[in-house]
Amino acid sequence: MKLSEIGEFGFIERFAHRFEDLLAPNAMGIGDDCAIIPAGEDHDLVLTTDMLVEDIHFIRNKISPLDLGHKALAVNLSDVAAMGARPIGSFLSIAIPEDIDVEYLDQLMEGYHQLSERYQLPLMGGDTTRSPKKLVLNISVIGRLEKGKAKLRSAAKVGDIITVTNTLGDSAAGLQLIIKGVNDSEDTAWLINRHNCPEADVDEGIWLAQQSGVHAMMDVSDGIASDLKHLLKASQKGAEINLNKLPLSHQLNSVSETQQFNPIELGTSGGEDYCLLLTIDETQFHSISTAFENKFKKKLFNIGSINNKAEHLEWFLNDKVTTMSKGGFNHFR
């Protein structure tokens, strides 16, 4: 059997259950954006780790080292944000090929430091080693939150409004532009920046976790077509998504016309948006979304609803059921 036949999550499912009985009481391991580790009577710690591999997650000569340092940390901060936790420390391990000079690494660490400084997040350790060819970065981030208050993928309830905190598909479009070598306007530059220099919704995640009407939450890393299925599986619920309500930026729509991109496909399956995907009690959605917009000066986008059809995801376009051919990014397929 090849990994391409089962995908990354099929591989994880083959061994994850074998470690469940090794967990300490009230700890949570594989299956959410972060692991949860009890830390005394009042707080929990959350822990996430992510690896970025050259030519898989980034193209070295197409991203500045400053942006790469920023992105490497941001994708981990997004996981911590999805739990509603405040980041308190990071660890960086890096495998460095011989053709990279010290000045490049200085700029990479400057990007990492600039984002760390924004959240007063210390770099607390890590490892360095030589790589035979490709640059590899592995980052772990620890977060802290009030005990039992982590937002989980398994908490969605029937009737919840499905929401995202930002536009979708911009990063995927930016990657396509990078691959095609197109950067000829303000719109293309904006989309490329969304791919190379993503922003994690850290403050938004902390605030949303404090709202009783917010139920399930996760970040969007592989595209909602994939990520929403993980939420539905964990919650044993179903969902309906209205593709007419997808938040697509005017930059994405404009560039899609000239480059023959499919903006809906990019918005559902492109990945690396690093916004938050959450479900909100339908009776509290208006008040929470209004307060969110007042505080953060941006919208919560209503894209669908949760139902009781376990693990069943339906897409609607112009009020008719439609089929989405792509299911989100998967490393081995």
Report the mean per-residue pLDDT for the chain.
95
CATH topology of domain 3-146: 60s Ribosomal Protein L30; Chain: A; (3.30.1330)
DSSP state of 20: G
User: Is residue 243 predicted with pLDDT exceeding 50?
Assistant: yes
User: Is residue 332 predicted with pLDDT exceeding 50?
Assistant: no
pLDDT in tens, 10-37: 888 898 889 988 988 889 999 899 999 9
Check residue 317 and give its pLDDT: 96
Q: Domains of the chain: which residue ranges?
A: 3-146, 153-322
**Measured distance CA(103)–CA(36) in Å, rounded:** 37
Pairing between strand 43-53 and 136-146? antiparallel
Cβ-Cβ contacts under 8 Å for 29 (sequence gap 6 or more):
16, 19, 20, 23, 35
CATH code for the domain defined by 153-322: 3.90.650.10
Contact call for residues 217 and 209 (beta carbons, < 8 A): yes
User: Is residue 165 predicted with pLDDT exceeding 90?
Assistant: yes
Tell me what the mean pLDDT of segment 86-91 comes to.
Answer: 98
CA dist list (Å): 324 to 63, 233, 293: 31, 18, 31
**Measured distance CA(79)–CA(152) in Å, rounded:** 11
**Measured distance CA(237)–CA(291) in Å, rounded:** 27
Helix (H) or strand (E) holding 192: helix 186-196
pLDDT in tens, 256-314: 999 999 999 999 999 999 999 999 999 999 999 999 999 999 999 999 999 999 999 99
